[in-house]
């Protein structure tokens, strides 16, 4: 079954009670049993809910996985993965990482004895140098947020397997439409469903997908025990959003390319970060493991002036100044003071998150209007 068909049909069936073609919103906390232990597959909605269950099957299918689990946010999904570890275990992650991921690693789990290493994962030799018998997870984000670095998933899988570690890939920026990490050797895929999968800036949710039954059992145990699950209404909205994921991603990619190429011509801009450029350091890896280059772009200004960057993000009219990404509307953000403010200044600047860095989430509007908006803001 091809992607567009899976996005619409996988995991969902007409409602057996009424024939409703859309999965109903099962807005219930509990389920009546005919006798003790004699039920219809559902006992309590923290453990399982029919609307959430359909979404979990759908997300697993579009990621070419077998098991899916949905959570109250992307960070709740990350929380579940790290809770699979024990004190003394080590995690290797990229040094160019979403600020919320960095914060949960450093301020929540580090005090429980889990050791985190942050490294330039484009340098596989450096990753291998850090691996040892205590390495239990290699955490990859690709494309990275916000520097759009590309990490070779297959290469990271080989390194992880050598030491018996799990490879976890944050696939939020690419979505399964553009890359399927499980096919490249990943053990777990994570999504901030809030972003492209939901696609309409009206849901906060996270998800995990795996094809390993042992990992899945642990994933469901933690999901149920910790209780950070998503509700049926949000599950319904994301099921609806995923039905147009392939159509939206096509437009995000088309608009992203037009805007990246426009930014490249601006006299006010120093660098443009977009993996579709042949000059991108890992363009060939992106071309190999992705089916398109997405709608996320970052750029810096000549002179690296903070005030100028803050003025530009205020002057735009169509681009909305807001955190998050992946919605149908275009967003603009300033990572150093917004999404990555929780990372110490010296740490974030080493990875390229300087004061003038601006990040765009290119929506599905007409590209010409978006370019005109950026032109007037940069003028």
Residues forming the active site: 46, 98, 170, 195
Q: CA 331 to CA 323: how far, in whole Å?
A: 8
Q: Is 213 exposed, middle or buried (0-12, 13-18, 19+ CB in 10 A)?
A: exposed
Owner of token pair 């908006």: 373
Owner of token pair 């899916």: 68
CA-wise closest residue to 166 among 189, 136, 208, 144 = 136
Helices 232-242 and 50-62 cross at an angle (nearest 10°) of: 30
Owner of token pair 């860095």: 357
**Could you tell me the two tokens for 40?**
């219809």
Q: Where are the alpha helices (DSSP H) in the chain?
A: 3-9, 50-62, 74-82, 99-103, 124-130, 153-163, 175-178, 213-226, 232-242, 245-264, 283-289, 306-315, 345-350, 367-378
Sorted by sequence, the CB contacts under 8 Å of residue 375 that are 6+ apart come out as none
Tell me if the bond preceding 164 is cis, omega within 30° of 0.
no
């Amino acid at each position: 079954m091809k992607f567009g068909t899976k996005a619409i049909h996988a995991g969902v069936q007409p409602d057996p009670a009424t024939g409703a073609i859309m999965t109903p919103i099962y807005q219930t906390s509990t389920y009546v049993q005919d006798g003790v232990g004699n039920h219809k597959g559902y006992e309590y909605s923290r453990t399982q809910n029919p609307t959430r269950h359909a979404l979990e099957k759908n997300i697993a299918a579009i990621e070419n996985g077998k098991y899916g689990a949905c959570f109250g946010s992307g960070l709740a999904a990350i929380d579940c993965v790290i809770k699979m570890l024990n004190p003394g275990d080590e995690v290797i992650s990229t040094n160019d990482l979403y600020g919320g991921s960095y914060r949960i690693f450093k301020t929540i789990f580090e005090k429980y004895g889990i050791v985190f290493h942050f490294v330039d994962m484009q340098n596989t030799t450096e990753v291998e140098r850090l691996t040892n018998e205590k390495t239990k997870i290699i955490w990859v984000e690709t494309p990275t947020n916000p520097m759009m670095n590309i990490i070779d998933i297959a290469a990271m899988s080989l390194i992880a397997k050598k030491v018996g570690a799990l490879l976890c890939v944050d696939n939020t920026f690419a979505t399964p439409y553009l890359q399927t990490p499980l096919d490249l050797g990943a053990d777990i895929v994570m999504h901030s469903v809030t972003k492209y999968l939901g696609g309409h800036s009206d849901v906060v949710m996270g998800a995990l997908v795996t094809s390993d039954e042992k990992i899945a059992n642990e994933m469901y145990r933690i999901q149920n025990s910790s209780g950070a699950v998503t509700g049926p209404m949000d599950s319904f909205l994301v099921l609806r959003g995923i039905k147009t994921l392939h159509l939206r991603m096509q437009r995000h990619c088309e608009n992203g390319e037009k805007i990246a190429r426009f930014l490249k011509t601006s006299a006010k801009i120093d660098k443009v970060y977009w993996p579709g450029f042949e000059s991108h350091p890992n363009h060939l890896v992106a071309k190999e493991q992705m089916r398109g280059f997405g709608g996320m772009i970052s750029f810096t200004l000549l002179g690296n002036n903070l005030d100028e960057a803050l003025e530009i993000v205020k002057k735009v009219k169509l681009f909305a100044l807001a955190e998050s990404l992946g919605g149908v509307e275009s967003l603009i953000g300033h990572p150093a003071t917004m999404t990555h403010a929780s990372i110490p200044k010296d740490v974030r600047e080493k990875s390229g998150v300087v004061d003038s860095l601006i990040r765009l989430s290119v929506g599905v509007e007409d590209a010409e209007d978006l370019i005109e908006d950026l032109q007037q803001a940069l003028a």
